[in-house]
Amino acid sequence: MNQTGVVAWLAVRELWISFRLLALLTAYVGVGAVVALLPGPGPSPLERLAIGLAAATIVGSGIAAGSLGTERALGRAGWLVTRSITRGTLLIGWFIALAGISLVGLTAAASLGWLAASTVAAPLELGPFATVVVGVAATGLAAVAVGLLLGSLLGPRRAIVAAIILGVAVGAAAYVLLPATIVPLSALAELQALERPVAAGVQGAGVGLAVTAVALVLARLALGRADL
Amino acid sequence: MRLLRPAAVVCSDLSRGSDLDRCSLSVPAGGRLLLVSDPDSAASTLLRVLAGLTRADRGRIHIAGSSDADGWGQRVAYLGPNPGLHTWMTPLEVMRLAGDLLELPAEESVRRSERAVAWARIPVGALARPMSRGGVALQQRVALAAALIGDPEVVLLDEPLRALHADERRRLLLLPGRRRTVLLASRYPASEVGLAAHVVFLRGGRVELIAPVADLEAAGLPLSHRGIEALAATRAESTGRTQRRAPRPA
């Protein structure tokens, strides 16, 4: 196993032991379960799924921020760095671990949500739905990357609080100010009203991946200057 | 005849916050230095900068023939006050991981692990149990064993092994190897008797004194913070007197 794999595997085990893996999976899968099992009055299943996934994305960002902040504060990041692990490898290893868990949870939540939406509303086409979910996944990756950026800059508690506040603020601003075609979670909520859902999903995925890349570059720069 | 030894650690003009201010130091290979500082945090900061854990604001570092921190893992080991280990891991897992990260061949890794574990006297019964059950003392022993598995040329020790009994700590810190360079930062120099050949005193972020430990004894001073400060003051005074006596250029 290469060094990135070693760090990612260590990160997964640390997340498992500390119950953060369970919390992240529960945040995503719980959303799908609630949407699927508790159909009720109010917003449509897709709207409820979008709101739930937005909350799970913020949880993911907070867990990412707290995890890297904790690794730095407890000297575990330093232990790895003094053993030939570069700071970049450390960052990418943690990103892979958190992104992987988020994607597993999102896949489960989306599957449950699709089943729920298909039984309640008119049959939901899988292609457009899956494309928009890919966009939501890219948003989740961006949230994890931003969380890691905050974890590179701040101590664990401050990083978690900052990630949650930033997530809520950015999410609310994006929902109010930006068109649904470039905000995947809005596109998911309004999927059946969109004229070109596939294009919206692809566009949202592109925006999400671009934000992920920028956040990771900034996190690498921040971690390069950080005390470990 | 006295042979000149190559420098294992060279740092010049290192600055970091208020702890280091254009600090320069050269340590020959095989040297064993006790770092004492005023304020106490300066010596720790110097070791953390040398280990690549804290970035210097300015200055140059050259350790074990390399100036790139990313390549130091093979030849430089750092052991701080906090072991920095995942306590859910067992000592065996830590040793295996340390060997893997240094890319040692499997057989060599096992051989070195066994040697390091024996040196650190990690109880056999604790090897396969999570370290959280063994307390901080066990974690510090494991951290030392993991640091030694790479047979590092330079060992940076920042207030290490404080959870162990003083005698056992001294035994462990007398690291084997004549060519091994050891820098030991301590806030309690009196507890480091016999561990270092030279003492370095940092004040105001710079090296104020480098002297053999024997000089303290010769001056009738104890190996303590106060004793080292007194020797530094004596040296500074005699240097000043020499400079005052020197004829000024016309």
For A168-183, the pLDDT digits (tens) are: 999 999 888 888 778 8
Q: Is residue B232 part of a domain?
A: no
Structure token pair of residue A31: 């959303």
Of B52, B71, B103, the CB nearest to A81: B52
Residue of chain B whose Cα is closest to the Cα of A84: B73
Kindly indicate the confidence band of residue B2, based on its pLDDT and cuts at 50, 70 and 90.
Answer: very low
Question: B140 is in which domain, residue-wise?
Answer: 7-188+195-208
Q: Is residue B222 part of a domain?
A: no
How far is the alpha carbon of A15 from chain B, nearest alpha carbon, in Å? 11
Is 70 exceeded by the pLDDT of residue B248? no
pLDDT tens for residues A9-46? 999 999 999 999 999 999 999 887 887 777 666 567 88
Number of domains within chain B: 1
Instruction: Find the mean pLDDT for residues B216-221.
Output: 89
CA dist A145 and A65 (Å) reads 9
**A80 close to B (CB below 8 A):** yes
Chain A residues whose CB is inside 8 A of the B53 CB are: 78, 81-82, 227-228
Q: Is residue B213 part of a domain?
A: no
* Percent of chain B residues topping a pLDDT of 70: 91
Structure token pair of residue A53: 């996934």
Cis before B39? omega within 30: yes
Span of A190-194, B41-45, B121-125 with lowest mean pLDDT: A190-194
| DSSP secondary structure of B187-223 | S-GGGGTTT-SEEEEEETTEEEEEEEHHHHHHTT--S
pTM summary value: 0.88
Cβ contact, residue pair A84, B83, below 8 Å: no
Chain A residues whose CB is inside 8 A of the B70 CB are: 84, 86
The pLDDT, as a whole number, for residue B242 is: 63
Which of A79, A84, A85, A87 best probes binding to B when mutated, by most B CB atoms within 10 angstroms?
A79
The pLDDT, as a whole number, for residue A112 is: 87
Of A13, A75, A84, the CB nearest to B80: A75
Those residues whose C-beta lies under 8 Å from the C-beta of residue A225, and which sit 6 or more positions away, are B55
Q: Is residue B102 part of a domain?
A: yes
SS3 of residue A51 by DSSP: helix
Chain A residues whose CB is inside 8 A of the B78 CB are: 78, 82
Number of domains within chain A: 1
Strands ordered across the beta sheet of B198-203: B76-79, B154-158, B181-185, B32-38, B198-203, B206-212
* Percent of chain A residues topping a pLDDT of 70: 96
Question: A109 is in which domain, residue-wise?
Answer: 3-225
Interface A:B, Cβ pairs < 8 A = 64
Q: How far is CA B197 from CA B122, B155, B169, B212, in A?
A: 28, 15, 17, 6
The pLDDT, as a whole number, for residue A22 is: 94
Q: Is residue B245 part of a domain?
A: no
* Percent of chain A residues topping a pLDDT of 90: 61
Is 70 exceeded by the pLDDT of residue B3? no
Nearest residue to B20 (alpha-carbon basis) of B62, B66, B58: B58
Q: Is residue B224 part of a domain?
A: no
Q: The complex's ipTM?
A: 0.85
Instruction: Find the mean pLDDT for residues A66-90.
Output: 92
Chain A residues whose CB is inside 8 A of the B71 CB are: 84
**A88 close to B (CB below 8 A):** no
CATH code of the domain in which B142 resides: 3.40.50.300
Q: Is residue B238 part of a domain?
A: no
